[in-house]
Amino acid sequence: MRWWPRGLRVRLLAACALVAFAAAGAAAWAGAESAGDALLASHGQQLTRTVTDQVGAVTPSLSYPPDQATLDRLRAAVGGDTLVTYRGLRSAAGTGPGLVTPELRDAVRDGNRLVTQRVVAGGTPWLLIGTPVVITAVDGTRRPSGIEVYTARDLTGVDGRIDDLTRSAIGAAALSLPLAALLALLAARSVLRPVRELRDTAGRLAAGDLGARTAPVGADELADLTVTINEMAGSVQASMAAMRRMQADARRFAADASHELRTPLSTLTAVMEVLADTADDMEPDARESARLAIAETRRLVRLAEDLMEVSRFDAGTAALRVEEIDLAVAVRESLRARGWLDRVEVEAPGPLPVRADRRRLDVVVANLAGNALRHGGPPVRVRLGATPGEVWAEVTDGGPGLAASALPHVFERFWKAGSSRTGPGNGLGLAIALENVRLHGGRLTAGNADGGGARFLLHLPRDAQETR
Amino acid sequence: MNRARSATVVAALLLGGCGVQPSGVTDAAEAPTGIAPGVTLYFLDQNGTLRPQQRRSGRLGTVAEAVTLLLYGPGQSGLRTGISPSESPRAEAVTTPGTIELRLPLAAGEVTPPGADQIVCTALATHIQSGGPARTTVRLIFTIPEPGSDTPRTCPLISPRAPGR
């Protein structure tokens, strides 16, 4: 059961209105209470004075000791619901006598004073007045005469007026409610507006707009918070800018370095071609050295080209040129061009049309198949297939597979597995393959097949979008 | 559930606070007085000293009745009076706060100074016994006044600081 409202505004409003209503209600109620008490007291005084005067007016003419007739006269003088007693005699009329309480009777007997008591009988409020009639001596001393007068006066009129007072008090308190609600609304607005602005700013910051700021207003805690958030955003913005600059510097360095290497390497390659043509005429030792130099130079050229390719991916300048091709045909051509068709089994269910960049797909296939041939063991298989939205290619080998610790790093640049993964690769092949697949909007995952060999799974969307 | 219960209690308190509530016995005022077995008249003894005399008339009566009774004389009690007897004595009294004005069927010369005290004391005694304040003066209005005969007087036997109202 959750009935407490969640919103800050509603809670503020409810609390404010409640407090104001309670305060106004308490004040009005206390006022009505004391006014009612005063009303009751003055009414009681008036009643007792009337009774005293009525008794005092008739007593000098009453015989003492009194007889029944005297008591009747006294009772008639007081009027209404009255009981007059003298020792064994009593004169009573109305409902008043039945209301007289024992404590009132005791108070009248014990003291020489007029006493009163309020009682409620049958829903009607009564003021009971009880008094002895005293004998005053010439010197002023007073002693009881034995005559006691009890009378009951109806307080219904006063009760009604007190009820009116209470009703008007409740009304006054209720009047304070809209005022309190209005004040609470104003207070809530003044508090919540800066909070809302801060929330908007924080949202824009989270969405990447690092320039978002809130102008602090005033000098309260919210303004402090605003200033702090602005400072935080400023420092995040500064460090992000520094990081981007450093990244860009690093990429530019790699691109520049590989580009600068290209020209001398081309020259070197040309020289090596000449050297290769003449190598057969050399002495065996010199020929061996020349072949090694030629091979290493080729690796160097390849590394420089790969680094340039990676730099293009990092710079975002790698372009995708899609055309309608058949994946099965593309894979077979790729393998045939490298002379691997007899070492790799290709299983294709039929034509697999896909929109892809032929050159980049060739790079991916060559990388995956070459990897399997180099690092895994036979048999190397490429299975092709299609789902409604995608085509897929699975490359498996019969080697020892990928170690569990190696799996997260397979696609990292310059990463090479342990002893079984040394070889001619430069560690950029799989990273470049992954970038190419991503450029198509596809996925490339590495794992191990059930038989134990490494298993690379390539998914390509059927309709990759051309970029630039 | 608890909230509902406390709300009910508060509402009951608020509603219960309205209207007239029963109370204990409260002391409110002086008891009324004025009842007495008789009236006190003032006469003079053999030495001319002022003396109160109880008349067991069975009731207190008014100031005028007491003074009228005084004018009838001491009877066979052996006391004397300083007031000349008259044919049909009948006094009238007008009581205002602080003063009793007595209209007497007598000339100022028919009353001796102790006789005037008798009238003043009798009037004051009845006034006090019927609940009036002791700090009250009496003005005597004669049929034939003398200079100073209608000045406010007090009774030498009754202290104005006596208890009572």
A402-434 confidence digits (pLDDT tens):
888 888 888 888 777 654 444 556 778 888 999
ipTM score? 0.82
Instruction: Give me the mean pLDDT over the B33-44 stretch.
Output: 90
CATH top-level class of A8-163: alpha beta
Is there a contact between B151 and B161 (Cβ–Cβ < 8 Å)? no
Q: How far is B147 from chain A (nearest CA, A)?
A: 31
Q: What is the pLDDT of residue B8?
A: 59
Q: What is the pLDDT of residue B48?
A: 87
Instruction: Write the single-letter amino acid at A351.
Output: P
Among A114-123, A213-222, A362-371, the minimum mean pLDDT is found in A213-222
Which residues lie closer than 8 Å to B90 by C-beta, 6 or more apart?
A: B68, B71, B105
For residue B134, give the chain A residue with the closest CA.
Answer: A140
With an 8 Å Cβ cutoff, are A138 and B14 in contact? no
For residue B61, give the chain A residue with the closest CA.
Answer: A60
If one compares A465 and A79, the residue with the highest pLDDT of the two is: A79
Instruction: Report which of A303, A361, A300 is spatially closest to residue A330, judged by C-alpha positions.
Output: A361
B24 in A contact zone (CB under 8 Å): yes
Tell which B residues from 33 to 92 touch A, by Cβ distance under 8 Å: 33-37, 40, 52, 58-62
CATH top-level class of A323-461: alpha beta
A227-278 confidence digits (pLDDT tens):
888 898 899 899 999 999 998 888 888 778 878 888 888 888 888 888 888 8
- The rounded distance, in Å, linking the Cα atoms of B79 and B114 is 13
**pLDDT above 60: residue A110:** yes
Closest residue to B31, CB basis, from A63, A132, A155: A132
With an 8 Å Cβ cutoff, are B27 and A137 in contact? no
Q: Which residue, among A2, A117, A128, A136, would best test binding to B if mutated, counting the most B CBs under 10 Å from its CB?
A: A136
- The rounded distance, in Å, linking the Cα atoms of A384 and A407 is 23
Per DSSP, what are the bridge partners of residue B55? Answer: B39
B47-67 confidence digits (pLDDT tens):
889 989 988 888 888 999 999
Q: What is the pTM of this model?
A: 0.56
**pLDDT above 50: residue B164:** no
- The rounded distance, in Å, linking the Cα atoms of A382 and A388 is 20
Sort out which chain A residues have CB atoms less than 8 A from B62's CB and list them.
60-61
Q: Give me the residue spans of the domains in chain A.
A: 8-163, 246-315, 323-461
Q: What is the pLDDT of residue A1?
A: 43
If one compares A201 and B159, the residue with the highest pLDDT of the two is: A201
Q: What is the mean pLDDT of chain A?
A: 85
Query: Chains A and B: how many Cβ contacts under 8 Å?
Result: 160
Per DSSP, what are the bridge partners of residue A347? Answer: A383
Under the banding of pLDDT at 50, 70 and 90, the label for residue A291 is: confident
Q: Give me the residue spans of the domains in chain B.
A: 35-165
A302-351 confidence digits (pLDDT tens):
888 888 888 888 877 778 888 899 999 999 999 999 888 888 888 888 88
- The rounded distance, in Å, linking the Cα atoms of A186 and A204 is 27
Among A5-19, A111-125, A229-243, A450-464, the minimum mean pLDDT is found in A5-19
Closest residue to A133, CB basis, from B21, B31, B126: B31
> Distance between alpha carbon A147 and the CA centroid of its chain, in Å?
82
For residue A121, give the chain B residue with the closest CA.
Answer: B22
Under the banding of pLDDT at 50, 70 and 90, the label for residue A169 is: confident
Instruction: Give me the mean pLDDT over the A89-109 stretch.
Output: 85
Fold equal for A8-163 and A323-461: no
Under the banding of pLDDT at 50, 70 and 90, the label for residue A132 is: very high
A174-184 confidence digits (pLDDT tens):
888 888 888 88
- Report which secondary-structure segment, H or E, holds B11: helix B2-16
A141-164 confidence digits (pLDDT tens):
888 889 999 999 888 888 888 888
B69-116 confidence digits (pLDDT tens):
998 888 887 888 888 888 778 889 999 998 999 999 988 889 999 999
Q: What is the pLDDT of residue A116?
A: 92
